[in-house]
Amino acid sequence: MELTGERTTPGIWHENYWFRRHEVAYLFAAPLAAGQEVLEAGCGEGYGAQALLDAGAARVIALDYDAEAAAHVRRTYAGVPVVRGNLVALPLPDRCVDLVVTYQVVEHLWDAPGYVAECARALRSEGRLLLSTPNRPVFSPGLGRGEKPLNPFHSQEYDADELVGLVEAEGLAVEAVLGVHHGDAIARFEQARGPLVDAQLARPPETWDSELAGFVSSLTAADFDLRDEGVDEALDLLVIAMRP
């Protein structure tokens, strides 16, 4: 797939930091997906839908609005049913899935309440929504609530309280809010070299020094922590909510 700088893609060495940072949330979802009917709303490249299927989900429906993404998933992940559709008008019946996983999607949408309402509509009673997004105060320092993000792919960015309010407004009961943080190895790297994200964005990957290139290439999901402490300082937010 075309590298846009926004969509996360596995198997590309200089994208490995972003891929592993997102993978953490899929590892969290894996035990919740086992034996369940799952919708991934905004599946992107499709690696997450495949991971949930590999974790033992009874079925995973991968849905995306982008035609290129849907075609890529269909070609690459043969066991994953793909649906191309609008996230604010899901082409699915009411109460048809047990789990909706929708990661790094809400910040892209012009109608976030409609999107969350559609996710809730698709859930069966006591089904769960897992929703992640970049944490605005960390991802875009200085950007206020409701202000247009500098990222051209984003419509709106959220802090933890906003995200909880968005989900609860659509009748879902929030069970937990977790945050993705750098683990010990990244913290040690940053003590010596400064912020890792800044180092990656400062220069094209082909000009990175060997230490930076080797470190980024070596990262795994275990180099990130997902926890409920310090969510206001987290890199990314993950809300877990249930449909009553």
Rg for the chain (alpha carbons), in Å?
17
d(CA 34, CA 238): 19
**Is residue 30 domain-resident?**
yes
Q: pLDDT, tens digit, for every residue of 65-121?
A: 999 999 999 999 999 999 999 999 999 999 999 999 999 999 999 999 999 999 999
Q: pLDDT, tens digit, for every residue of 121-131?
A: 999 999 999 99
**Cα-based distances in Å from 167 to 19, 72, 92, 241:** 25, 30, 20, 8
**Is residue 174 domain-resident?**
yes
The predicted structure's pLDDT at residue 4? 64
Return the exposure string of 210-232: e unless at least 16 CB atoms fall within 10 Å of the residue's CB, then b.
eebbebbeebebebbbbeeeebe
In three-state secondary structure terms, 134 is strand
**pTM attached to this predicted model:** 0.95
Determine which helix (DSSP H) or strand (DSSP E) holds 60, and give its type and residue range.
strand 59-64
CATH number at residue 113: 3.40.50.150
pLDDT at 8 > cutoff 90: no
**Is residue 177 domain-resident?**
yes
**Is residue 142 domain-resident?**
yes
Residues 6+ apart with CB under 8 A from 179: 135, 160, 226, 227, 228, 229, 230, 231, 232, 233, 234, 235, 236, 237, 238
User: Mean pLDDT over residues 53-67, rounded?
Assistant: 96
**Is residue 4 domain-resident?**
no
**Is residue 118 domain-resident?**
yes
Q: What is the average pLDDT value for the chain, to the nearest integer? A: 96
Q: Give the domain extent around 73.
A: 17-242
Total count of domains within the chain? 1
DSSP character at residue 148 = P
In DSSP terms, 100 is beta-bridged to: 39, 129
Determine which helix (DSSP H) or strand (DSSP E) holds 225, and give its type and residue range.
strand 224-227
**Is residue 6 domain-resident?**
no
Pair of tokens at residue 142? 């200085």
**Is residue 2 domain-resident?**
no
